[in-house]
Amino acid sequence: VNSARDIFADPHPRARGMLVEVEQPGENPPVVLAGPAIKLAATPAAIYRRPPCLGEHTAEVLAEAGIDAVPAGAPRRGRGR
C-alpha cells in the first residue's frame, strides 16, 4: 500500500491524469490535487475549477442564509465564543 507521499512522488499517477496541477489566485503557487480515479471513455471526469480559498465564498453563503456579511477585515466569532 502506497502512502500519499509515495503516490505524489510517483510519475505514473501524474501521467495517468490522477494528479492534477491547479492554478491558485494571486501569487499563490499551483497545488496538486488528486484527480478523478475512475476513467470512463464516454463521460470523462475532470477537475474543472480550483477549490475555493479560505473564506472566498463566505459572504455569498451568509447572504443566501439571510445573514449580513461581516465587513472585510472585521474579526469573526466562532461558535461557543
The pLDDT tens digits for 9-42 are 999 998 888 898 999 888 889 989 988 888 888 9
Look at residue 75 in the predicted model and tell me its pLDDT. 64
Whether 75 is in a domain gets the answer no
- Given this model, what pLDDT does residue 54 score? 86
Q: What is the pLDDT of residue 77?
A: 62
Q: Which domain holds residue 50?
A: 4-64
Asked whether residue 73 is domain-assigned, the answer is no
Domain contains 78: no
The pLDDT score that the predictor gives to residue 50 is: 86
Can you read off the three cell numbers belonging to residue 63? 447572504
CA-to-CA distance for 10 and 17, rounded, in angstroms? Answer: 12
Q: Encode the chain in three state secondary structure.
A: CCCHHHHHHCHHHHHCCCEEEECCCCCCCCEEEECCCCCCCCCCCCCCCCCCCCCCCHHHHHHHCCCCCCCCCCCCCCCCC
